[in-house]
């Protein structure tokens, strides 16, 4: 999701050295992720929800980090100066979009997505409209790449063992194939799905989603000012689509996921 800003307050590093802040943030995130995996292993009834949440968090953070990295590559150091070009997840966590909303939607079984705290980008530093579009589209491209990596990993490390896992499983015959796999194989599948959801949702051509960069690139210069005014209020449109088009979005996500499952060898 692309919420580009031109001003960003500088992080206050006087209270704690930057390296220590980043280290503590990374350790805390690893502990949280490990906790989710441990509970998922012990509580099969909510394992899918917990694994999805565990996969969604880093997916959202890497999505936003990629925006800042490509903007920096194109000469905009706003994200770097704001301390956002880091693997420390804490600066990227949005309490609502990264924690509360995904957690509620995951537990409710609706199918969750969310957003990380947007990386600041100063568009005035990126003159080329093509490069601006690339800054937007690199986010979902990152998620597609992660889904591809998950798919290849599953195809070569897990899929060849599916038949053996099903045969040797002590679970009841009616147990879905997904649950006779080891936890790591389940996590790979769900991580692929989470990234498919994030990429697909953000590629919708509606401001402020990343796919709207295609509209901006296609518009003539004389229409850009009106487009930017509309963009300031377009989040309302996104919320309406999420609320009213939930079934349509779920159908789209599931269609892509089932196709992906066939490609990686989970579905015959």
Residues known to be catalytic: 64
Q: What is the DSSP string of the chain?
A: -----S--PPP--SSS-HHHHHHHHHHHHHHHHHHHHHHHHH-GGGHHHHHHHHHHHHHHHHHHHHHHHHHHHTT--HHHHTT-SSS-SGGG--IIIIIIHHHHHHHHTS-----PPPPP--GGG---HHHHHHHHHHHHHHHHHHHHHHHHHHHHHTGGGHHHHHHH--S-TTS-GGGGS-HHHHHHHHHHHHHHHHHHHHTSSSTTSTTHHHHHHHS-HHHHHHHHHHHTTTHHHHHHHHHHSHHHHHHHHHHHHHHHHHHHTS--
């Amino acid at each position: 999701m692309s919420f580009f800003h031109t001003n960003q307050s500088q992080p206050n590093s006087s209270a704690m050295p930057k390296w220590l802040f980043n280290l503590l943030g990374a350790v805390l995130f690893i502990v949280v992720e490990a906790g989710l995996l441990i509970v998922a292993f012990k509580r099969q009834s909510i394992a899918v929800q917990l694994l999805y949440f565990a996969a969604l968090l880093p997916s959202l953070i890497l999505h936003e980090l990629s925006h800042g990295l490509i903007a920096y590559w194109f000469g905009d150091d706003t994200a770097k100066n704001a301390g956002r070009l880091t693997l420390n997840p804490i600066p990227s966590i949005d309490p609502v979009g990264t924690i509360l909303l995904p957690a509620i939607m995951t537990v409710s079984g609706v199918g969750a997505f969310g957003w990380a705290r947007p990386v600041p980008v100063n568009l005035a530093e990126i003159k080329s409209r093509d490069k601006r579009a690339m800054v937007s589209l690199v986010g979902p491209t990152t998620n597609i790449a992660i889904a591809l990596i998950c798919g290849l990993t599953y195809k070569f490390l897990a899929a060849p063992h599916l038949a053996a896992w099903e045969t040797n499983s002590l679970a009841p015959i009616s147990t879905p194939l997904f649950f006779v796999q080891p936890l790591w194989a389940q996590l790979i599948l769900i991580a692929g799905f989470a990234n498919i959801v994030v990429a697909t949702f953000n590629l919708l051509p509606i401001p402020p989603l990343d796919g709207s960069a295609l509209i901006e690139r296609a518009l003539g210069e004389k229409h850009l000012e009106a487009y930017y005014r509309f963009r300031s209020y377009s989040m309302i449109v996104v919320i309406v689509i999420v609320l009213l088009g939930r079934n349509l979005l779920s159908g789209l996500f599931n269609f892509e996921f089932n196709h992906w499952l066939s490609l990686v060898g989970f579905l015959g």
